[in-house]
């Protein structure tokens, strides 16, 4: 099950209490105070890990506590520190304070580590309160409580290319054709109920290139307002470097105008705002691909190609069933993803 949101409560360990004790030995009649310090409470630490790709382990286990520190003991013995708790999250997870909505940390790389609840400090024993005029102190400190926080976790997949378009535009079929991903494919809306990732390779060794493609559930008009599955998954393409917009030009979709389909999806992308109110999808680089050209309506294909080229966007016509145009599209994606300063795009192929 793919879970990309979770709320958790974390409680760091309390510090142990300081001890009040005095030395009692046969040949030390006035041994003085000997109360040890309490141990520090354990922290709650969050670490980004590549072993996880979902937040499901938090959905059914939302509370996490650090171990409290042990109390101090006599003979100046300090209590042991409590053990910290380490929580692993997928790379791409954003951590928000549930009460303020503030972004605490964005785990964008593996092995990033953040203390999200700090353990309480251990109390001091009475040995620390002895002075020249107060040699038998009975004062000692209680341990400080550990921090307790509420957090919201939000996972945004890390991919180079995000596939967008209407339901049944051919996104799942395309990702199954160009990568090893095997999403569920069927001829009804919202076949894709959760994002799928696939790794695409182009070229041959030693110049092999690869990039990650994310197949998103189909968008419909009003997606940015919550219609369909839109807002639930649109945030996953915030981190993508490139959008591949698929438009069905066959008559099977039942929609008469592919240009109108193209405009509707672009409007939804432009209207989407993230948690900070930012429109991050409006200006992303986009490549447009007409799909299902093996059964295309020639008038639809021509109309879409004219409109896209008028907007000066790169256009491809493909068929994931027959393979027509697939290799050219893969190379086009690889060229657009190539970092600035690398070899010219034409040198890749």
Distance CA 333, CA 287 (A): 8
According to the model, what pLDDT value does residue 190 have?
A: 53
Environment class of 149 (CB within 10 Å of its CB; exposed 0-12, middle 13-18, buried 19+):
middle
Write the pLDDT tens digit of every residue in 167-213. Answer: 878 888 888 888 876 655 555 555 555 677 788 888 777 777 888 88
- In this structure, is the dihedral angle defined by the CA atoms of residues 241, 246, 247 and 253, taken in order, positive or negative? negative
Q: Calculate mean pLDDT across residues 271-287.
A: 74
DSSP 341: T
According to the model, what pLDDT value does residue 120 have?
A: 96
Distances (CA, A) of 192 to 59, 216, 260, 339: 22, 7, 23, 31
Q: What domains appear along the chain, each with residue ranges and CATH number?
A: 5-155 (2.70.210.12), 161-347 (3.40.50.300)
According to the model, what pLDDT value does residue 54 have?
A: 81
Block residue for tokens 């109110």 = 277
Write the pLDDT tens digit of every residue in 14-71. Answer: 999 999 999 888 777 778 899 999 999 999 999 999 888 788 889 888 999 999 999 9
Q: Which of 6-20, 110-124, 259-273 has the lowest mean pLDDT?
A: 259-273
Give the closest residue to 234 by CA, choosing from 182, 286, 157. Answer: 157
- Residue 247 pLDDT more than 70? yes
pTM, rounded to two decimals? 0.69
Stronger pLDDT, 148 or 201, i.e. the higher one: 148
Residue 2 CB neighbours (<10 A): 14
Distance CA 62, CA 77 (A): 36
Distance CA 303, CA 235 (A): 31
According to the model, what pLDDT value does residue 46 have?
A: 96
Q: 149, 248 in Cβ contact below 8 A?
A: no
pLDDT band at 304 (very low <50, low <70, confident <90, very high): very high
First to last CA, the chain: 39
Phi, psi dihedrals of residue 126, rounded to the nearest 5°: -70, -10
Block residue for tokens 């506590």 = 65
Average pLDDT of the residues of the chain: 84
Q: Tell me whether strands 103-107 and 85-90 are parallel, antiparallel or unpaired.
A: unpaired
Q: Calculate mean pLDDT across residues 244-260.
A: 88
- Give Dmax over CA atoms of the chain in angstroms: 106
Stronger pLDDT, 240 or 115, i.e. the higher one: 115
Question: Which strands, in side-by-side order, build the sheet including 196-202?
Answer: 196-202, 209-215, 161-164, 242-248, 285-291, 314-317
According to the model, what pLDDT value does residue 309 have?
A: 92
pLDDT band at 240 (very low <50, low <70, confident <90, very high): confident
- Residue 264 pLDDT more than 60? yes
Q: Which of 5-19, 22-36, 112-126 has the lowest mean pLDDT?
A: 22-36
């Amino acid at each position: 099950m793919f879970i990309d949101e979770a709320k958790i409560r974390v409680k760091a360990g309390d510090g142990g209490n300081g001890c009040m004790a005095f030395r009692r030995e046969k040949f030390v009649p006035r041994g003085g105070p000997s109360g040890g310090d309490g141990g520090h409470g354990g922290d709650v630490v969050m670490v980004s890990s590549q072993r996880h790709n979902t937040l499901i382990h938090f959905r059914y286990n939302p509370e996490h506590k650090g171990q409290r520190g042990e109390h101090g003991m006599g003979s100046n013995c300090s209590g042991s520190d409590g053990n910290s708790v380490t929580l692993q999250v997928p790379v791409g997870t954003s951590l928000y304070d549930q009460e303020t909505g503030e972004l605490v940390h964005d785990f964008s790389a593996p092995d990033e580590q953040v203390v999200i609840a700090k353990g309480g400090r251990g109390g001091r024993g009475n040995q620390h309160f002895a002075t020249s005029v107060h040699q038998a102190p009975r004062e000692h400190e209680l341990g400080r409580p550990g921090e307790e926080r509420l957090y919201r976790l939000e996972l945004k997949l890390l991919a180079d290319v995000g596939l967008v378009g209407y339901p049944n535009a051919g996104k799942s079929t395309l990702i199954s054709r160009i990568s090893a991903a095997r999403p569920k494919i069927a001829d009804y809306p919202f076949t894709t109920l959760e994002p799928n990732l696939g790794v695409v390779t182009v070229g041959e060794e030693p110049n092999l290139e690869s990039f990650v493609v994310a197949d998103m559930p189909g968008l419909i008009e009003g997606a940015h307002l919550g219609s369909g599955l839109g807002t639930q998954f649109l945030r996953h393409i915030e981190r993508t470097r490139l959008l591949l917009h698929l438009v069905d030009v066959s008559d099977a979709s039942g929609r008469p105008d592919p240009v109108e389909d193209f405009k509707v999806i672009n409007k939804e992308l432009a209207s989407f705002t993230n948690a900070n109110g930012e429109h991050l999808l409006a200006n992303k680089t986009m490549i447009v691909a007409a799909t299902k050209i093996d059964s295309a309506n020639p008038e639809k294909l021509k109309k879409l190609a004219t409109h896209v080229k008028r907007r000066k966007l790169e256009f491809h016509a493909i068929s994931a069933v027959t393979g027509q145009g697939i290799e050219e599209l893969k190379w086009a994606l690889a060229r657009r993803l190539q970092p600035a300063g690398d070899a010219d795009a034409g040198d890749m192929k």
